[in-house]
């Protein structure tokens, strides 16, 4: 039996972290395909602008303000979808932040904030979404991770740890969700073009625009694939690199990034890019 694939007639698509980047581009892409999309973020003004931009599309956008780090906010968002807008057919859990971490100048706040948004923020959306879908007997969930979760990369001690956890979470939940009729997918993008990446001197191979990322994700959501990852050659290379023994993996990453030759980063937090946002 084929897994459930949400179509516009099935109900609402809920996207967290929709005020910018992949989330914003994906909301417009799906609204253009006729979906009714509920968008969540802390920035009310940016969500209202997004809603206005979608006014001429086949679908529509509904603004649901909320902070993913606040579990009560996400329960309220789910209740608003359920009682005011219709059935939740798909949840795309996308909200995330990237805070570079340098061992010479560690800050507890960088880890705590990263875990709160990237990991707990997903859980806060996931629980009410699954509860709703379980009652309906069907649904589709996409968790946006990153290829940074495949293996350790420079400055990614906080960000990469959260993304690795999301990969494991999606894989583990699939066993039970399959039996409930709820389809779960993992989204693992490579480097996404953004203002942050434009400020960095690090190499950014296979850079992808938010619009192209949205196109790839939208296509993947309609496929039977568990993982949606792009660009293919780059992400495959990173997966294969992680299979190397550590004695080869660390020198390879150092060579590709030039990290070992870089001066100490103590005392400042550079705007370093990382796969996904």
Q: What is the 3-state secondary structure (H, E, C) of 54-70?
A: CCCCCCEEEECCCCCCC
Quick one: pLDDT at residue 265?
59
pLDDT tops 90 at residue 268:
no
The partner residues of 227 in beta bridges, in order of sequence, read 186
Contact in structure between 25 and 241 (CB atoms under 8 Å): no
Identify the pLDDT of residue 208: 92
Contact 235, 147 (CB under 8 A): yes
Please state the domain extents for the chain.
6-258
77: nearest Cα among 26, 15, 142? 15
Q: What is the mean pLDDT of residues 186-190?
A: 96
Q: For the segment 241-262, what is each residue's pLDDT rounded down to a tens digit?
A: 999 999 999 999 999 888 888 7
pLDDT per position as a tens digit, 26-72: 999 999 999 999 999 999 999 999 999 999 999 999 999 999 999 99
Q: 159 catalytic, yes or no?
A: yes
Superfamily of domain 6-258: NAD(P)-binding Rossmann-like Domain (3.40.50.720)
For range 222-233, the mean pLDDT: 95
pLDDT for res 261: 81
Half-sphere exposure of 136 (CA within 13 A, CB side): 21
- As a whole-number percent, the residues of the chain with pLDDT over 70 amount to 91
Q: Where are the beta strands (DSSP E) in the chain?
A: 12-16, 36-40, 60-63, 88-93, 139-144, 182-189, 227-230
- Active-site annotation holder among 150, 159, 246, 249: 159
- For the segment 157-167, the average pLDDT, to the nearest whole number, is 97
Across the chain, how many H-helices and E-strands are there? 10, 7
**What pLDDT score was predicted for residue 185?**
98
What pLDDT, in 10s, does the model give residues 77-116?
Answer: 999 999 999 999 999 999 999 999 999 999 999 999 999 9
- Per-residue confidence (pLDDT) for residue 195, from 0 to 100: 54
Long-range pairs of 269-272 with CB within 8 A, sequence gap ≥ 24: 269/99, 269/100, 269/102, 269/105, 270/100, 270/200, 271/100, 271/196, 271/199, 271/200, 272/100, 272/154, 272/155, 272/196, 272/200, 272/202
pLDDT at residue 207, as a whole number: 86
Tell me the C-alpha distance between 62 and 81, whole Å. Answer: 9
pLDDT reported for residue 191: 85
For 65, list phi and psi in degrees, rounded to 5.
Answer: -60, 145
């Amino acid at each position: 039996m084929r897994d459930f694939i949400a179509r516009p007639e099935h109900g609402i698509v809920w996207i967290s972290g929709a005020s910018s980047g992949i989330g914003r581009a994906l909301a417009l892409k799906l609204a253009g395909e006729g979906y009714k999309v509920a968008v969540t973020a802390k920035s009310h003004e940016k969500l209202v602008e997004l809603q206005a931009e979608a006014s001429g599309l086949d679908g529509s956008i509904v603004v649901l303000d909320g902070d993913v780090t606040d579990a009560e906010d996400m329960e309220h968002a789910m209740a608003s979808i359920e009682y005011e807008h219709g059935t939740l057919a798909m949840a795309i859990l996308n909200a995330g932040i990237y805070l570079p971490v340098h061992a010479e100048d560690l800050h507890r706040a960088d880890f705590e904030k990263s875990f709160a948004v990237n990991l707990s923020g997903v859980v806060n959306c996931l629980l009410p979404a699954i509860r709703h879908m379980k009652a309906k007997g069907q649904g589709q969930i996409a968790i946006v991770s990153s290829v940074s979760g495949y293996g350790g990369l420079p400055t990614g001690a906080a960000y990469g740890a959260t993304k690795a956890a999301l990969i494991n979470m999606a894989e583990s939940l699939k066993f039970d969700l399959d039996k409930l009729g709820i389809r779960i997918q993992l989204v693992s993008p490579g480097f996404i073009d953004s203002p942050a990446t434009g400020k960095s001197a690090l190499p950014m191979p296979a850079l992808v625009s938010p619009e192209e990322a949205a196109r790839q994700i939208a296509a993947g959501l309609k496929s039977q694939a568990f993982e949606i990852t792009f660009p293919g050659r780059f992400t495959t290379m990173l997966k294969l690199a992680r299979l190397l023994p550590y004695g080869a993996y660390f020198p390879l990453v150092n060579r590709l990034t030039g990290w070992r030759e870089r001066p100490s980063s103590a005392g400042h937090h550079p705007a370093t890019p990382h796969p996904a946002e």
